[in-house]
Amino acid sequence: MSKEVTEIINTLCEKLGVAASVLVPELAKYNIARLCFLTAVLTILAVIMIAVVVKLVKWSFGNEDADWEEKAFSLFLTCFIPGVVMVILTCCAIASATDLIGWIASPTASAVKEITSMIK
């Protein structure tokens, strides 16, 4: 397997016209920048969705005339989709942050992992 990885890296470097010693740091810089941006955007969107859910909960319980069943149904309808979106965004932000930590902690291992995933 390591021979295949070495061959792929050498082939990539030949086609790109760069030295193999430059490939891993450049790949690391690219992925760190991409994952920083993605993590930041997903986190901001998750925080916005939290604020939306809080506002919807306040709005749903703000109706003094409605009984408890109407309030509960209204709360479910108005908060279900934003709540699901919030959970999905949070999970994606955590996954992105986990990948980012891997690239920062060990760029070489992350580059090898990415290149071996290309082989399969």
Is residue 54 one of the residues assigned to a domain? yes
**Angle made by CA atoms 9, 10, 11, in degrees to the nearest 5:** 90
Is residue 10 one of the residues assigned to a domain? no
Cβ density class 103-117: b for 16+ within 10 Å, e for less: beeebeebbeeebee
Contact partners, residue 104, CB within 8 Å, separation at least 6? 32
Q: Are 57 and 111 in contact (CB under 8 A)?
A: no
Is residue 82 one of the residues assigned to a domain? yes
Is residue 86 one of the residues assigned to a domain? yes
Per residue in 51-93, pLDDT tens? 888 887 787 777 666 677 777 777 777 778 888 888 999 999 9
Provide the CB-side half-sphere exposure for 75 (13 A, CA).
14
**Domain that includes residue 88, residue range:** 25-107
Per residue in 19-61, pLDDT tens? 767 778 888 999 999 999 999 999 999 999 888 888 877 877 7
The pTM for the full model equals 0.73
Q: Are 103 and 110 in contact (CB under 8 A)?
A: yes
The pLDDT assigned to 103 comes to 93
- Total tally of structural domains belonging to the chain: 1
Is residue 119 one of the residues assigned to a domain? no
